[in-house]
Amino acid sequence: MRTISELQAIKDAFTAKRQDSKEIRVIIGMGTCGISAGATPVYEALRDGARKMGLDNVTVCPTGCIGMCTYEPIVEVKVPGKETVTYIHVDAAKAEKILRYHLRDGIPVSEYTIGGDCGSLTELDFYKKQNRVAIRNCGIVNPEDITEYIYKDGYFALAKALLNMKPSEVIDEIKKSGLRGRGGGGFPTGTKWGFAAANEADQKYFICNADEGDPGAFMDRSVLEGDPHAVLEAMAIAGYAIGASKGFIYVRAEYPVAVERLNIAIAQAKEYGLLGDNIMGTDFCFDIEIRLGAGAFVCGEETALIASIEGFRGMSRNKPPFPANKGLWGKPTIINNVETLANVAQIILKGADWFTSFGTAKSPGTKVFALGGKINNTGLVEVPMGITLREIIYEIGDGCPNGKRFKAVQTGGPSGGCITTENLDTPIDFDNLVAIGSMMGSGGMIVMDEDNCMVDIARFFLDFTVDESCGKCTPCREGTKRMHEILDKITGGEGTEEDVETLKELAQNIKLTSLCGLGQTAPNPVLSTINHFENEYIAHVKEKSCPAGVCKALINFSITDDCKGCTLCQRSCPVQAISGSLKKKHVIDQDTCLKCGICMNVCKFNAIVKE
Amino acid sequence: MNKESKCSCGGVISANDPRFEELKEYIDSLKDSKGITMPVLQEAQRIFGFLPLEVQKFIAKEIGIPVSEVYGVSTFYSQFNLTPKGKHKIAVCLGTACYVRGAQAVLDKLAEELDINVGDTTPDGLFTLEATRCLGCCSLAPVMMIDDEVYAKLDNISVIPGILQKYYEQRLPE
C-alpha cells in the first residue's frame, strides 16, 4: 500500500460488491454482551442454515456491540431496496424461522421483530438522541475484516496524515479540536502529544490504555471488539505525530474477545502495509504489540501501567517526571485511552471544526456512556457533551424499571460520586460533573432507585478500592481500609454518629495525601453519599434502620394480616424459614430467615413487609 | 529445598516434567523482547494451571531475575493463582451494575451451598468460588459464569442449587 488511490480501489471494490442488488446482509451483534446472551448458536444456525439451503446471496456478518444490550441477541436483516428488519431476543429456533420465511421466501417474521412499524433500531428513541463518533462502526462493520473498515473510510486519515501533513500539523489539528482524554482525567490530548513531540530521544513509545477497570463501564471493550482498526489507525497517527515507532496496547486479560479481534486486526493491517515498516511508502515505521493486564485496577494509572509493561508490580510513582518526558524504559511515552483514540481518525479526516461542532466549548465532541443498573434500556450510548442527565436517563434510558422512583445516578465509578434529582438538568461535561461533586471518569453510569441503600453503595466502592490499592502509600493502603471498616460497622448496625464524622475527616486526609489518582479519589463515593444522603447515614447510626431495606442487620421481614395462606412464600423460601398451613396466616422464623426477599417478591397479596 | 512440589490436587510437578520444556520454548521465543515477566507468568499459568514455587523458580532462572521479583509480581496481580483451582470456576460478577441488582445475594447463596468462603475451593476440588469485577454483560445482571457458561438474570437465587446439581451429575462417571 503506497498511495491513497490504492486504498480508494479497495473501498470501490467493496462498494461495488455492496451495491450488488442481490446481496442480503444479516448482521448479528457479537460483542461480549451479545455472546453472553446467546449470540453464538444463533450465528451458527444462520450461517450453516443459509449454506444448507443454498442461499448464496446471504452474507451472515458478525459485528460488535450494537449498543442495545437489553434486546440481545439482535439480528438485523438488510434486503436491498427494503427497510432494515431488526429481530430481538433471537435464539436458534427463531433463527431457523427467520431463515426459512424471511431469507428464503422474503416474508419477515413480524412476531420476532422489535415491534410496531419500527423495523430499524435507529428509529427508536434510544438512538435518536445519539451521535456516534467513537463507536460509529460498532454494530455495523465486521471487526474481523479490514476491507469493511476501509469501506467506512478507514485508514484514509492515516494516509492523509502521512502523505499530506507534517507531524506538527497533526498535533495542531488535534489541539484545535479540543479533544480531551476520555479515560477520566480530561487532559487535552493534543497538548499531551506536543510534550512528547518536543522531546528528542532515540526511541519513544505510544501506549493505548485498554485496561478498562471501572466496574460497570464497557465502552472501551465495545470499541476494541467492534472496531479494532479505529484504535490501530489512531495509534499509528499518534506515533507519527510524536515520533514513536513502537506502540503497546495494554488490555485487560478479562477481555478475550477484544484481544482476539485486536490480534486479527494487527495481522491484517500488517498484511495491507498499514502497520510495520515504511507505511504508505514513507519513512514512517510503526509496530504494535499487545500486552495483557492481569487484574489490577491501579494499572489504569499511567505510571503503574508503565511499571506493569516493564514487568514489575503495577505500582504508581511520583510525577514529575511525567511519562511524556520519562516513561516506558525511561523514554518519552504517551498514553491515551481507547475511546479518546477512537475519535482521532475522524478528527484528522473531517477536521477540527467538524469535531467542535458537537459538544460544549470546553468539552467538544461526544462521550460514550455505559448505562446500567436500575434502568430500562441498559446499553451503550454516545451523546454530544452538554446533554443533560435527564435526557440520558429518561429519554434514552426510559427511566427505572417496575415504576420505581429514581434515587441517584453514579458516575465516575470508584472515583466518582452520586448525582441526585436536583442536578439532573445540568449539562454534562468534564467540568460541570466535577462542580456537582462527581466526575466523568470513563463513562460508567449506574442508575439507582429507591431500593438501593447509599451507605451500602459507598461500602461497595470502598471494598473495591481496598482490594485494588497497590499498597505503596500509607494514606491509600491504610486509610481506605479504616474507612471500609467504619462503613462495615455502620451497615452492620453498630455505627455511631461519631463514625460519620471520622469518615469525613479520614476522607479529607486520604484525598490530600495519597500518591496517585486511585487514592486521591477513593473517598469520593463516601463524601458524595454523605453530602447528598446524610439522612440515610443518620438513620443507620441513630435509629438503627436502613431506609432502603438493604442492610441485612437492620431489616426484618414479616407477614401481615393480608396473608391469605396461599403457601407460595413458604414454597419459595430457599431455607424453609416460613411456616403455616393452607388458608392460614404464615409466619417467618427470624432466626432462619436469610433476608433474601424472595417471599416478598412472590407474594401476590403484598402481605409481606420489610421493616 | 525439595526437587518436587506437591499440589493439593494430588499431582506432583517434578523437575523433569515435560511442561517445563514447553514453557522454556515460549521464553526463548521472547528473548528479544523487554519486560517479559508478565507474559511468561501468564503462559506458565496456562500450561500448569497455577504457579507453584517450582515454576516460579524456573522462570526466575530462565529470564535472569531474582525469584523474589517473580514472586512479587505473581502475588500482586489477582489473575495469578499460587494454589490449584477447582475443576469448575464459578465467577460471580460484582461489577456495580450487578451489585445494585443483587449480586451479593447470589454470592452469599453460592458460598452457603458450597460451604466455602469466596476465593476458596471445595474440598473435593470440584468448584472454586470467586467474585470478579465487571464481566461486561450489564444488561444480564445479576450474572455469574461457571467456566465459559453465562448464567444471567439470577434475581431468584433459589435456582442456584439446580444449576450446581448439573455439575455434580457430570462428575459421576469418574
CATH number for region A366-449: 3.10.20.600
Dihedral sign, CA of B22, B23, B25, B26? Answer: positive
CATH number for region A454-541: 1.20.1440.230
Task: Please report whether residue B141 resides in a domain.
Answer: yes
Average pLDDT, whole number, for chain A?
94
| DSSP structure string for A197-258 | HHS--S--EEEEEE---STT--HHHHHHHH-HHHHHHHHHHHHHHHT--EEEEEE-TT-HHH
Binned at pLDDT 50, 70 and 90, residue B4 comes out as very low
B95 and B70, same domain (yes or no) = no
Instruction: Report CB contact under 8 Å: B158, A452.
Output: no
Minimum CA–CA partner of A306 in chain B: B35
pLDDT of residue B8: 45
Instruction: Report CB contact under 8 Å: B138, A296.
Output: no
Instruction: Report CB contact under 8 Å: A311, B72.
Output: no
Checking if the pLDDT of A434 tops 50, the result is yes
Q: Which residues of B touch A213 (CB under 8 A)?
A: 133
Task: Please report whether residue B40 resides in a domain.
Answer: yes
B94 and B70, same domain (yes or no) = no
* pLDDT tens by residue, A538-568: 999 999 999 998 998 999 899 999 999 999 9
Question: Which of A17-26, B68-77, B123-132 is predicted with the least confidence, judged by mean pLDDT?
Answer: A17-26
Checking if the pLDDT of B2 tops 60, the result is no
Task: Please report whether residue B38 resides in a domain.
Answer: yes
> Rg of chain B over CA atoms, in angstroms?
19
Binned at pLDDT 50, 70 and 90, residue B172 comes out as low
Domain stops at, among B76, B109, B129 = B76
Q: Which of B35, B97, B135 minimises the CB distance to A310?
A: B35
B95 and B149, same domain (yes or no) = yes
* pLDDT tens by residue, A361-387: 999 999 999 999 999 999 999 999 999
Instruction: Report CB contact under 8 Å: B137, A36.
Output: yes
Q: Which residues of A touch B157 (CB under 8 A)?
A: 574, 596, 598
Checking if the pLDDT of A248 tops 90, the result is yes
Binned at pLDDT 50, 70 and 90, residue A117 comes out as low
B152 and B97, same domain (yes or no) = yes
Checking if the pLDDT of B3 tops 60, the result is no
Mean of pLDDT values over A406-427: 95
Instruction: Report CB contact under 8 Å: A373, B157.
Output: no
Checking if the pLDDT of A486 tops 60, the result is yes
B29 and B97, same domain (yes or no) = no
Q: Which residues of A touch B103 (CB under 8 A)?
A: none
- Which residue out of B138, B146, B151 would a mutagenesis test of the A interface target, given it has the greatest number of A Cβ atoms within 10 Å? B138
pLDDT of residue B5: 47
Mean of pLDDT values over A149-168: 97
CATH number for region A556-610: 3.30.70.20
* pLDDT tens by residue, A198-222: 999 999 999 999 998 888 888 999 9
pLDDT of residue B134: 81
Which of B 112-151 lie inside 8 A of A, CB atoms?
132-141, 143, 150
* pLDDT tens by residue, A527-540: 999 999 999 999 99
A113: left (phi over 0), alpha (psi -120 to 50) or beta: beta
What's the gap in Å between the CA of B96 and the closest CA on chain A? 5
| DSSP structure string for A14-81 | HHHHHH-TTPEEEEEE-SHHHHHTTHHHHHHHHHHHHHHTT-TTEEEEEES--S-GGG-S-EEEE-TT
What CATH number is associated with residue B92? 3.40.30.10
A15 burial via Cβ count (<10 Å: 0-12, 13-18, 19+): exposed
- Cβ atoms of A522 and A462 closer than 8 Å: yes
Structural domain boundaries enclosing B15: 5-76
What's the gap in Å between the CA of B92 and the closest CA on chain A? 13
Give the 3-state DSSP-derived string for A159-192, with helices as H, strands as E and coil as C.
HHHHHHCCHHHHHHHHHHHCCECCCCCCCEHHHH
B29 and B101, same domain (yes or no) = no
ipTM: 0.89
The CA-atom distances, in angstroms, between A186 and each of A183, A199, A250, A296 are 7, 23, 20, 22
Instruction: Report CB contact under 8 Å: A446, B96.
Output: yes
Dist. CA A559–CA A555, nearest whole Å? 14
Checking if the pLDDT of A591 tops 50, the result is yes
- Which residue out of B68, B139, B147, B150 would a mutagenesis test of the A interface target, given it has the greatest number of A Cβ atoms within 10 Å? B139
Dist. CA A604–CA A611, nearest whole Å? 19
Dist. CA A558–CA A590, nearest whole Å? 9
CB burial of B62-97 (b: ≥16 within 10 Å; e: otherwise) equals bbebeeebbbebbebbbbbeeebebbbbbbbbbbbb
Residue A322 DSSP one-character state: P
The CA-atom distances, in angstroms, between A421 and each of A266, A309, A372, A401, A407 are 45, 42, 17, 17, 7
Instruction: Report CB contact under 8 Å: B79, A446.
Output: no
B164 and B92, same domain (yes or no) = yes
pLDDT of residue A185: 83
Q: Which of B73, B79, B96 minimises the CB distance to A312?
A: B73
Count up the domains in chain B and report the number: 2
Dist. CA A49–CA A240, nearest whole Å? 46
* pLDDT tens by residue, A472-482: 999 999 999 99
B92 and B147, same domain (yes or no) = yes
Task: Please report whether residue B31 resides in a domain.
Answer: yes
Domain regions of chain A by residue span: 17-123, 154-356, 366-449, 454-541, 556-610
* pLDDT tens by residue, A382-401: 999 999 999 999 999 999 99
Q: Which of B39, B76, B140 minimises the CB distance to A36?
A: B140
Checking if the pLDDT of A340 tops 60, the result is yes
B67 and B113, same domain (yes or no) = no
| DSSP structure string for A323-378 | TTTS-GGGS-EEEEEHHHHHHHHHHHHH-HHHHHTSB-SSSBSEEEEEEEES-SS-
CATH class of A154-356: alpha beta
Task: Please report whether residue B83 resides in a domain.
Answer: no
* pLDDT tens by residue, A44-82: 999 999 999 999 999 999 999 888 888 999 999 999 888
B114 and B48, same domain (yes or no) = no
Checking if the pLDDT of A98 tops 80, the result is yes
Instruction: Report CB contact under 8 Å: B134, A218.
Output: yes
Classify domain A17-123 by CATH architecture.
Answer: 3-Layer(aba) Sandwich (3.40)
CB atoms within 10 A of CB A237: 29
Mean of pLDDT values over B86-109: 92
Specify the amino acid at residue A377.
N
Dist. CA A543–CA A216, nearest whole Å? 33
